Amino acid sequence: MCCRLVACLLAAAVLSTPVLAGENPSSKTLLALASRYVRTFVDRFSNVVAEEHYVQDWKTNTGIALMRRESTADFHLARIGDSSEWQAYRDVFEVNGTPVRDRDDRLAKLLFQPLPEALDQAAAISAESARYNIGNLQRTVNQPLFALAFLQPANQGRFSYSVDKLDRSAGENVWIVDYKENARPTLVRGTANKDLPARGRFWIDGVSGRIVKTELLLEDNLQTTEITAAFRNDDRFQIDVPVEMDEQYKVKGNAGKIAAKATYGRFRQFEVNTQEILKK
């Protein structure tokens, strides 16, 4: 399954009212809050590079271990020039404890590149890193920010949304919102480039619109996918940054299943000043 995720942020301001304690919010209210928050998230996180520790296990359907791989990578959300489009990239620099490239912040250095060169280089880095996915299922959806694009105004019309319930275990005013993709062609493509509709849940704070957790479910007649991502507030950036991602993939029949877990830390903010000096 694959998708080049292009998430368009609208320039117009989104006006929304926070949900007060005791109120039952509409999905429209929560989505307005969330889309405003995601715009802020992209603005603040697009010059941040995180370190990702990623563990993948491939087993048969009966539980026999086939392969295990641990990798460490730089993870970066890149804004495409001055546009409202963005793309998340992974740049693996260590596999099973062995360096596979110099640890030189290649993704951060893309900030200095002209737009066409930066896009080409970032795509090449992403394709190179995808080689380290294990199992018999090709995938590019395995990154923690993927589902956030569904909350942006340009994509909301593709989905139906409904408020499930208040989840106090996630926060005092955090609401679960179910979503289901109805538009075709779908944002994610499945086997033989077929439509692969997305569905799942968002955990949205009714005051700030911040995204506490996301869930993405994909299924066709050959495969099932479940990806959850958890976020936690970071005072430096004044947003909730990704801290953990869990994945479960199953190819139907006897092809086996893949379980993966990623954790994120060592967040570094980069700035390009007039002297073009990279600052950490």
How far apart, in whole angstroms, are the C-alpha atoms of residue 243 and residue 267? 10
- Do residues 241 and 262 lie in contact, with contact meaning Cβ atoms separated by under 8 Å? no
What are the residues whose beta carbons fall under 8 Å from the beta carbon of 120, sequence distance 6 or more?
none
The pLDDT tens digits along the chain (280 residues) read 644 333 332 222 233 456 655 678 999 999 999 999 999 999 899 888 999 999 999 999 889 999 999 999 999 887 765 656 678 889 999 999 999 988 887 877 776 777 777 778 878 888 889 999 999 888 889 999 999 999 988 899 999 999 999 999 999 999 999 999 999 999 999 888 899 999 999 999 999 999 999 999 999 888 899 999 999 999 999 999 999 999 999 987 777 899 999 999 999 987 655 344 444 4
Q: How many residues appear in the chain?
A: 280
Quick check: is 189 in a domain?
Answer: yes
Quick check: is 3 in a domain?
Answer: no
The residue written with tokens 């957790």 in the block is 213
Quick check: is 1 in a domain?
Answer: no
Domain hosting residue 80, numbered range: 27-269
Terminal alpha carbon distance of the chain = 35
Q: What is the pLDDT of residue 112?
A: 72
Using DSSP's 3-state secondary structure scheme, residue 277 falls into coil
- Own/partner pairs for 188-193, CB < 8 Å, 24+ apart? 188/1, 188/2, 188/3, 188/141, 188/218, 189/1, 189/2, 189/3, 190/1, 190/218, 190/220, 190/222, 190/223, 191/1, 191/220, 191/222, 191/223
Quick check: is 20 in a domain?
Answer: no
CA dihedral of residues 34, 196, 217, 58 (deg, nearest 10) = -130
Pairing of strands 159-166, 174-181: antiparallel
Q: What is the pLDDT of residue 215?
A: 98
Quick check: is 17 in a domain?
Answer: no
CA dihedral of residues 89, 46, 4, 130 (deg, nearest 10) = 10
Quick check: is 280 in a domain?
Answer: no
Q: What is the pLDDT of residue 136?
A: 84
Q: What is the pLDDT of residue 131?
A: 93
Using DSSP's 3-state secondary structure scheme, residue 149 falls into helix
Q: What is the pLDDT of residue 10?
A: 26
Quick check: is 138 in a domain?
Answer: yes
Distance of CA 274 to the CA centre of its chain: 31
Q: Which two tokens stand for residue 144?
A: 């923690």
Quick check: is 183 in a domain?
Answer: yes
Question: Phi, psi (5° rounding) for residue 251?
Answer: -95, 125
By C-alpha distance, which of 39, 49, 50 is closest to 16?
Answer: 39
- Number of domain units in the chain: 1
Q: Which two tokens stand for residue 90?
A: 């992974």
Residue 23 has a CB neighbour count (10 Å cut-off) of 12
